[in-house]
Structure 1
């Protein structure tokens, strides 16, 4: 019976993998936007007797497949979500068959891959030797993990220890860039801290926090900075922030979900000076590194503090050496770190640098081409983000983005930055080639003509 059950599982697995491969072989030729006209067919009503596996996969392949946005191919320039490298994609398929929980007792090999990936990333980003952390479901959960750790650590230093709860706890200050990402603020609230009393610090015309406007800090302060402004890609003055925080005993947290990888680029490296002075960092492998989803990474120079905040114990669990599962909020964890291990091993140092360089080069070209078309790009290209507006006709930018989306040639979305209406283009897919950028610029030119004529 077990043999026949496993054979049935293997057949469904093989069929799903073959259908996925077929999708990938044609996705680059397809329109980028989704066809949602038949999505209602996905709900035939819950049957009394279940459908066979192949019938389920048939429905998913046909209706579900056409209802996808082609974000895995090279003409998607919307949110910074990347594609998926071949080794990482293949690893996810294999991991699905393995079905491991990423801890020492139920997934020793995948946990070792996670540990190795964490050490490789800390080394690539030139973080302190004591840095460690864990993989989470995404950057939001990574931010939450580290902000809870920061909260608990600062409160403990004030004599209010973990387990005492937040009622009656000393008030912690939050100092943040006025353009910090919304998911960081969500994480602050989920950590039980107030966003209404955040001490906001103005930014310059590139979106960088103004160090001269930073208030006096103390040992009850968490400072929220970013390496990778969501519209411009700019980096806050990390060296100055790190020095001020260390002098005051404050905690410096850096959200670098997509931007931290740019530290590998020689022309951009100086903007990351002082990154190593922070207490915690967030990076997301599914963005710039192009791994599958669920690859948020929480990194901390105080891993023992993470363990104090995140580890659990139970009578049925034997004592083990602390690992990533003791530094993450989830108990049952997928083997997501193994996909990043596969991605890094397949690229090597030079491959990571080459890919990140390509993103930057494409962004520089897109910025120049947009200016040639009459758009304004009101910032330098700091990494892979380009915000553009149309002088004298900002309202047209949203219509231009919609026109391009509907054409199926490319996908990006409207945005507002520092009071200007425009659109934002993000370059983060490993498959994006010069021809894809050609088609993007051509689609924007056609959309601009069509919108302004109408």
Structure 2
């Protein structure tokens, strides 16, 4: 293809994308059976000969568009999935045309510069220690892996063990202390790091999933303490001040799983939820959740820049580190896309006041859900302190059937969970697009789904 043909193809892709965004209010939030069945059209042998790019794009649009979840709209409330701010989405499109590899400054000066700027802005916005390093990764799962890796290696180094030289076999034993409601990705990260269930001590939590600081076992200099900024179900925040202070007194490492909740720190109305979180050593947070940067983008933030770089650095004769920022020092990846472009666009477009307003908006919509569903006789199972609302009907079976009908309605989509021994509907408000009207429309879908579920018993 020549450049004019490539430009025409890209214009067509943008046109399809704009049509898609314009249809979000009308299209089903989750694909219907017809759209899902049409995906079988992709099941074919690998073509033996090239296919014209225009035909490839048209087939992708024809079969794929209707089989997407309307995550970019205002009524998708599943799995704490964020939307994509207009400036960030546009930045992503431009970044994809630039196709930068953000490993080294030599590979992409603009990506390196924007990473440095975003690092400074994020540390300031989240009011974390000024010297902290920030790495841009795929999501909080990887960010937590990085933070725990830096913590593990630091504690072993202090114990006189060089893990890079000696490995883990024969290393001094470490212990991990975390709440019983810690996210599954923390356990996954620990397993990858060679820390098994036998080395994990679980601390009891209260009715909202917050760690009970009074039940914290004695920590020592070989302890990794994991705390939460935003319980994945209730949205509750651990009591950071007593937990972090207990860790700091003995030299333990504290990692904060703040996937969506750490952004509470950027809003005056919610920042008290995070009091004391700055006393930790590392933090994981998603840009693609509360900040509404496009997928995928997570952030690992570490108080000790050298500890993070030492844990993740790769060296070889052909790698030449510059005087500027070399992003691969702060992530497990070498080759990676330039996520800093869309993060910069999101932060630049919102500014400090805009981020605060976005956080407040998400929390306000979650409270609106609680108020309006409660007024319709649904039970609200959690204290709605952030963007999570847990909902149940009068009986567990009715809750499950109602969720099934909500998911099939096409009006909105929520995920289910188990909360304190009973099934619940988990409403996660995480998109800048969600309006008060979207909430009202979704509440109506809940009411209709419950009525349909109740009719099965008559």
The TM-score with structure 1 as length reference comes to 0.97
Instruction: Give the one of 334, 339, 343 matched to 1:340.
Output: 343
CA distance in 2, matches of 1:11, 1:141: 37
Equivalent residues in 2 for 1:42-61, closer than 5 Å:
42-61=42-61
Cα drift, residue 127 of structure 1: 0.3
Distance 1:87 1:319 in 2: 31
SS at 1:395 equivalent: helix
Change (3 A) 1:196 1:8: farther
Give the whole-Å Cα distance in 1 for the aligned partners of 2:7 and 2:311: 40
Residues 167, 6 of structure 1: CA spacing in aligned structure 2 closer, same or farther, 3 A cutoff?
Answer: farther
Contact 2:264-2:273 at 8 Å conserved across structures: no
- Structure 2 unaligned residues grouped into runs of 5+: none
What is the match of residue 31 of structure 1?
28
CA contact (8 A) 2:91 2:341 kept: yes
Partner of 1:127: 128
Aligned match for 1:298, one of 290, 297, 300:
300
CA distance in 1, matches of 2:39, 2:107: 38
| 2:390–2:427 Cα contact (<8 Å) kept | yes
In structure 1, the residue matched to 2:8 is 11
- Structure 1: runs of 5+ lacking an equivalent: none
Tell me which residue corresponds to 1:428: 430
Instruction: Tell me the distance in 2 between the aligned counterparts of 1:87 and 1:114.
Output: 17
Aligned length: 450
RMSD: 1.2
Equivalent-residue separation in structure 2 for 1:318 and 1:265 (angstroms): 40
Asked if the contact 1:402/1:413 (under 8 Å) is kept, the reply is no
CA shift for structure 1 position 66:
0.7
2:368 to 365, 369, 388: 365
Q: Is 2:105–2:327's contact at 8 Å kept on the other side of the alignment?
A: no
Q: State the Cα distance separating 1:195 from its structure 2 match.
A: 2.6
* Runs of 4+ in structure 1 over 6 Å off: none
CA contact (8 A) 1:227 1:259 kept: yes
Correspondences of 1:156-305 after superposition (within 5 Å): 156-161=157-162, 162-305=164-307
Structure 1 CA distance, aligned partners of 2:77 and 2:392? Answer: 16
Alignment of 1:336-415 (within 5 A): 336-391=339-394, 393-415=395-417
Secondary structure at 2:135's aligned position in 1? strand
Query: 1-side partners of 2:307 and 2:326: how far apart?
Result: 13
- Please report how far the alpha carbon of residue 44 of structure 1 lies from its aligned counterpart in structure 2 after TM superposition: 2.7
Map of 1:309 onto structure 2? 311
Shift of residue 414 of structure 1? 1.5
Q: Cα offset for 1:147?
A: 1.0
Deviations along 1:291-341, one digit per CA (max 9) or x if unpaired, are 111211000000111111111111112232454320110000210121111
TM-score by length of 2: 0.96
Structure 1: distance between partners of 2:397 and 2:198: 31
Q: Is the 8 A contact 2:267 2:355 kept in 1?
A: no
> SS state of the match for residue 27, structure 1?
coil
Q: Map 1:56-135 onto structure 2 (within 5 A).
A: 56-102=56-102, 103-135=104-136
Contact persistence 1:398–1:413 (CA under 8 A): no
Q: CA deviation at 1:41?
A: 0.2
Instruction: Please tell me whether the aligned partners of residues 117 and 338 of structure 1 are also in contact (alpha carbons under 8 angstroms).
Output: no
Aligned ranges 1:319-338 → 2 under 5 Å: 319-321=321-323, 323-338=326-341
Please give the alpha-carbon distance, in whole angstroms, between the structure 1 residues aligned to 2:370 and 2:84: 25
Note if contact 2:268-2:356 (Cα within 8 Å) is conserved in structure 1: no
* Superposed displacement of residue 247, structure 1: 0.2
